[in-house]
Structure 1
Amino acid sequence: MPIFKQINKTRVPVKIFTEDIAPQAIDQLVNIANLPIVHHHVAAMPDVHLGIGATVGSVIPTLNAVIPAAVGVDIGCGMNAVRTSLTASDLPDNLYQVRSRIESRVPVGFNWHKRSVVNRSTVNGLDKPLDELVGKHPAIMKMLKGFNHTWHRQLGTLGGGNHFIELCLDENDDVWIMLHSGSRGVGNVIGRYFINLAKKDMQRHQQHLPDTNLAYFSEGSQHFTDYVMAVNWAQEYAWVNRQEMMKLVVDALKASSLPNFTLTKKAINCHHNYISHETHYGERVIVTRKGAIRAGQDELGIIPGSMGARSYIVKGKGSAASFCSCAHGAGRTMSRTEAKRSFSVRDLEHQTSGVECRKDRGMLDEIPGAYKDIDQVMANQADLVDVVHTLKQVVCVKG
């Protein structure tokens, strides 16, 4: 099915690709659609759910303006996946040692590398534009302890929350490596800094907003230019972070008792919290995908389920109504606090049966029951993507 709901009593329409949407999320979409900077309509993906200011799972095309809070603080967060020459029969019956090997190579949660693991040319390529940015906005450096060595050492690290590293089996029992992470601490402080700066700018100009978290920068202003530069830098950082993690995971697997293997399919790497300059409905716009991936015609993407469900490699259909976009995952149905209150460790053990992963209270906020049914999400976006591969995780590493 195509669009399930459409809201028309707004400045521009809202097109929603699901019936499973909370009233609070609809309120947020209405607020966005009433902004004077939004072009043509707002699209909400099947995994849509409540966010801060802007709805997670929303695609927002803007004319000559950008909304920092719509991008959020995990700038450039996204996915990386690659198929290996390994098959299910190459994996041991007990995968605990495999998970431990990965965790020993890739710092998770609040941990990072004791020294930079990235080659000097890569760091140098990131250094110059960041120096220019913090030269204009030195307060950014004060927001992250040990700013320079921290961002260096966090390259190639996972972080916490819903970020993960997985080994998965596809429909042919081929083994895939899949991971999910973003721009770490440096992306977080860049996001928070510019969100607050946008709020101050709009207060200074006495511009009314339905939600202060929807404060935006208009093109032509210095802060607009600086933010676009900052978000592009953070997106590149997130991209490199995932590439470096993938190398470390491959090294960890090669150092284990698994047979020798190669990577047999070019890696798929896609952002799902980012901005992009694109043309839609006859206008050159800035598209903000907040919890959505690009799904242009024949473009490959990754849509993960929860840590106990299937994930998908997809090929985009280039849908105009979704601004060539699709869902970025299953989407939460309850907050982390609610999940911890509603489920037990026994529930977690049951819902992640067959997956080698942590099964303790620290993982309850990521329990599959806190997420939408990924199969229903996929059914709701049959007009947006075709499924190329169906993956089921057998190892899941989280922070």
Structure 2
Amino acid sequence: MSIKLTLNENTHFGVPIKIYTSDIDQESIDQLHKMSQLQFIHSHIAVMPDVHLGKGATVGSVVPTKNAIIPAAVGVDIGCGMNALRLNLKASQLPDNLSTLRNAIERKVPVGFSMHKQIRAKASTLTPLDKRLNQITLKHPALKRMLRHFDSTWVKQLGTLGGGNHFIELCIDENQDVWIMLHSGSRGLGNVIGTYFIERAKKEAQHRFGHVPDKDLSYFAEGSNNFNDYVEAVEWAQEYAYENRREMMHLILEAIRPLLPKFQMTKEAINCQHNYVQKEYHFGEEVFVTRKGAIRAGQGEYGIIPGSMGAKSFIVKGKGNNESFCSCSHSAGRKMSRSKAKRQFSQQDLIQQTEGIECRKDKEVIDEIPSAYKDIDEVMANQTDLIEVVHTLKQVMCIKG
């Protein structure tokens, strides 16, 4: 059995918390305890082996709720997820020096706070997004004041990477096949939507009868105007994040085609998201499942679990484990904060730990050093009941924001 710890079992403290690792810090446990006290949690909370402290809700938690949604549990990088694509190329067909490929991709795909100078996405993608977004901002005009150059920014950010732990990688699998893998979300507008509704939930909680153990666990009750508007906005952001990754993958392929032997994409293309909420059926009831740093791993469903920029990553297939609400980890998971990583490690440490990988090795990305993350092999060993490994990938090039 993969479950290593069960908290609150046979107590009145809150619903049970089932944890798929023993590597969990006390702050995360305290955060989970607070969430477990909410009266609308269904059955239990499942906690994945990449668990670590998060803002509002614990990263790596799967939270099923009845008639309510917690915006802070979904977070501000709404719809953040992964996309991986296998090419019919072998590692031997890649150039010895990958810097040319990296530079070509970075010219096509803006990273960090950058965006496209011109609109890149097709009208067939933008028109339905724009129509739905207008419906949202008509009801919540304050959203437009929270993002500079609102109407052009969200459009020009479609097909951009962002910063932090978002990345584009070129990887090699166990058969020496070449993969492109990327990780990104809903960019600036997703952040604005998340922030706006988190604050509305907090204000609403001040006037609601009933105890909330932490203001970051403020929620919207199903049937209220705020609930319906949040669901509409969060679904928009999740769709935008998906389109963002799709546009990025198109730009990456466009960038590398002139520099590689003629290639095609294989049938293996995986998309998964890990910061989102959707309706699902579990333990006899239809509930809202919020995955905060976790991916769905239903029976036969494919997913992606990346390690750090110096470790392995995995293409996996779900086993449909009911106790985890058909979920698994979304990554290796951080074991130290970004500020601590910057204090503890040097640029030389980064250079050593990313040896052999074409990537940035400057001081600005020390917070993404492999040692700031948990051991991906241990994380994978703790979830053998949840997924099976289909492919093991090793990155040879990594682009960070």
Q: What CA distance in whole angstroms lies between the structure 1 residues aligned with 2:72 and 2:49?
A: 21
Query: Shift of the alpha carbon at 1:210?
Result: 1.1
CA distance in 2, matches of 1:368, 1:266: 27
After TM superposition, list the pairs within 5 Å mapping 1:37-76 onto structure 2: 37-76=40-79
One-letter amino acid of the structure 2 residue matched with residue 69 of structure 1: A
Counterpart of 1:262? Answer: 264
TM-score normalised by length of structure 1: 0.99
TM-score, L = length of structure 2: 0.98
1:253-298 per-residue CA deviation (whole Å, 9 max, x = no partner) reads 1022x11110012421111000010000001000000000000000
1:51-104 deviation line (CA, Å, top 9, x unaligned): 012100000000000000000000000000010011100111111111101101
Residues 1:302 and 2:307 aligned together: no
Q: Alpha-carbon deviation of 1:204?
A: 1.8
Is the contact between residue 159 and residue 181 of structure 1 (CA under 8 Å) also seen in structure 2? yes
Q: 2:293 aligns with which of 272, 281, 291?
A: 291
For the residue of structure 2 that corresponds to 1:372, the secondary structure is coil
1:215 to 218, 226, 233: 218
Match of 2:282 among 271, 280, 283: 280
Find out whether 1:342 has 2:344 as its counterpart: yes
- Are 1:175 and 2:198 an aligned pair? no
The one of 110, 133, 137 aligned to 1:134: 137
Equivalent residue, structure 2, for 1:201: 204
User: Partner amino acid for 1:26?
Assistant: I
- Give structure 2 stretches of 5+ with no counterpart: none
Rounded Cα–Cα distance in structure 1 between residues aligned with 2:268 and 2:242: 15
Aligned length: 398
Question: Whole-Å Cα distance in 2 between the matches of residues 380 and 326 of structure 1?
Answer: 10
Counterpart check, 1:113 vs 2:106 = no
Render the CA deviation track for 1:228-259: whole Å, top value 9, x for unaligned: 01000000000000000000000111022x11
* Contact in 2 for aligned 1:84/1:265 (Cα 8 Å): no
Structure 1 residue 21 and structure 2 residue 1: aligned?
Answer: no
Shift of 1:127: 0.8
Where in structure 2 are the equivalents of 1:229-248 lying within 5 Å?
229-248=232-251
Q: Of 215, 226, 229, which aligns to 2:229?
A: 226
State which of 107, 129, 133 in structure 2 corresponds to 1:104.
107
Name the residue aligned to 2:89.
86
The residue type paired with residue 359 of structure 1 is: K
Question: 21-30 or 9-18: which moved more?
Answer: 9-18
Q: Secondary structure of the equivalent of 2:50?
A: strand
Q: Aligned to 2:48, what secondary structure does the other structure show?
A: strand
Paired with 2:386 and 2:124, the residues of 1 have a C-alpha distance of 39
CA distance in structure 2 between the aligned counterparts of 1:266 and 1:207, rounded to whole angstroms: 49
Contact 1:300 1:313 in 2 (8 A): yes
User: 1:206, CA displacement in angstroms?
Assistant: 4.7
Question: What CA distance in whole angstroms lies between the structure 2 residues aligned with 1:132 and 1:208?
Answer: 33
Query: Which residue of structure 1 lines up, in the alignment, with residue 397 of structure 2?
Result: 395
Distance 1:26 1:265 in 2: 41
Q: Percent identity?
A: 64
The aligned amino acid for 1:102 is I
Q: Which residue of 2 aligns with 1:318?
A: 320
Q: Deviations over 1:32-68 (max 9, x none)?
A: 1110110000000000000012100000000000000
Matched residue, 2:2:
2
Query: For 1:149, which of 126, 129, 152 is the aligned residue?
Result: 152
Conserved 8 A contact 1:330-1:371: yes
List gaps (5 residues or longer) in structure 1: none
**What letter matches 1:335 in structure 2?**
S
CA contact (8 A) 1:75 1:188 kept: yes
Q: For residues 192-237 of structure 1, what are the alpha-carbon distances to aligned partners after superposition, in whole Å with 9 as ceiling and x for unaligned? A: 0000000000102254211100000000100000000100000000
Residue 354 of structure 1 and its aligned partner are, at CA, apart by 1.1
